[in-house]
Structure 1
Amino acid sequence: MSRLLVTGGAGFIGSNFVHYVLANTDHSVTVLDKLTYAGNLASLDGLPDDRFRFVKGDICDAELVDGLFAEHDAVVHYAAESHNDNSLANPRPFLDTNIIGTYTLLEAARKHDIRFHHISTDEVYGDLELDDPAKFTEQTPYNPSSPYSSTKAGSDLLVRAWVRSFGVKATISNCSNNYGPYQHVEKFIPRQITNVLRGERPKLYGKGENVRDWIHANDHSSAVLTILEKGVIGETYLIGADGERNNKEVVELILTILGQPADAYDHVVDRPGHDLRYAIDSTRLRTELGWEPRFSDFEAGLADTIAWYRDHEAWWAPQKDETEAKYQAQGQ
Structure 2
Amino acid sequence: MSKTFLVTGGAGFIGSAVVRELIEHTPHRVINVDKLTYAGNPESLARVDSDERYEFRLADICDGVAMARIFNEYQPDVVMHLAAESHVDRSIDGPADFIETNIVGTYVLLEAARGYFKGLQESDPARAAAFRFHHISTDEVYGDLHGVDDLFMETTPYAPSSPYSASKASSDHLVRAWHRTFGLPTVVTNCSNNYGPFHFPEKLIPLTILNALAGQPLPVYGDGKQIRDWLFVEDHARALVQVASEGVIGETYNIGGHNEKQNLQVVETICELLEELAPNKPDGVVRYRDLITFVVDRPGHDQRYAIDASKIQRELGWSPRETFESGMRKTVQWFLENDTWWRRVQNGSYQGERLGATA
Short-chain TM bin: over 0.9
**Which residue in 2 is equivalent to 1:330?**
none
Q: Please state if 1:98 is matched with 2:112.
A: no
- Higher RCO (CA 8 Å, separation ≥ 6 residues): 2
Bigger mean CA deviation after superposition, 67-76 or 55-64 = 67-76
Bigger mean CA deviation after superposition, 147-156 or 225-234 = 225-234
Q: Of 297, 318, 330, which aligns to 2:344? A: 318
**Which residue in 2 is equivalent to 1:221?**
237
Residue 162 of structure 2 aligns to which amino acid in structure 1?
Answer: S
Q: Of 305, 308, 311, which aligns to 2:334? A: 308
**Residue identity (%):** 51
List per-residue Cα deviations over 1:106-138 (Å, max 9, x = no partner).
111111114210000000000012x43110000
Q: Could you say what secondary structure the match of 1:233 adopts?
A: coil
List per-residue Cα deviations over 1:10-37 (Å, max 9, x = no partner).
0000001111111110011111100111
List per-residue Cα deviations over 1:208-232 (Å, max 9, x = no partner).
0000100000111111111111111
Judge conservation of contact 1:197–1:310 (CA < 8 Å) in 2: no
TM-score, normalised relative to structure 2:
0.87
**Which residue in 2 is equivalent to 1:55?**
57
Instruction: Give unmatched runs, 5+ long, in structure 1.
Output: 323-332
**Which residue in 2 is equivalent to 1:68?**
70
Report how many residues are paired: 320
List per-residue Cα deviations over 1:18-61 (Å, max 9, x = no partner).
11111110011111100111111111112143111111110011
TM-score, normalised relative to structure 1:
0.94
**Which residue in 1 is equivalent to 2:316?**
289
Q: Could you say what secondary structure the match of 2:291 adopts?
A: coil
Q: Could you say what secondary structure the match of 1:309 adopts?
A: helix
Instruction: Give unmatched runs, 5+ long, in structure 2.
Output: 118-130, 276-286, 349-359
| Structure number, greater radius of gyration | 2
CA distance in 2, matches of 1:194, 1:174: 28
CA distance in 1, matches of 2:346, 2:299: 23
Bigger mean CA deviation after superposition, 198-207 or 237-246 = 198-207
**Which residue in 2 is equivalent to 1:45?**
46
Where does 1:1-332 land on structure 2 (aligned, <5 Å)?
2-47=3-48, 48-70=50-72, 71=74, 72-113=76-117, 114-129=131-146, 131-259=147-275, 260-295=287-322, 297-320=323-346
Residue 264 of structure 1 aligns to which amino acid in structure 2?
Answer: L
CA distance in 1, matches of 2:85, 2:217: 28
List per-residue Cα deviations over 1:216-259 (Å, max 9, x = no partner).
00111111111111111011000011010000000000000000
- State the Cα distance separating 1:262 from its structure 2 match: 3.6
CA distance in 1, matches of 2:294, 2:9: 33
Deviation beyond 6 Å, 4+ runs, structure 1: none
- State the Cα distance separating 1:261 from its structure 2 match: 4.6
CA distance in 1, matches of 2:47, 2:156: 40
Q: Could you say what secondary structure the match of 1:258 adopts?
A: helix
CA distance in 2, matches of 1:197, 1:31: 33
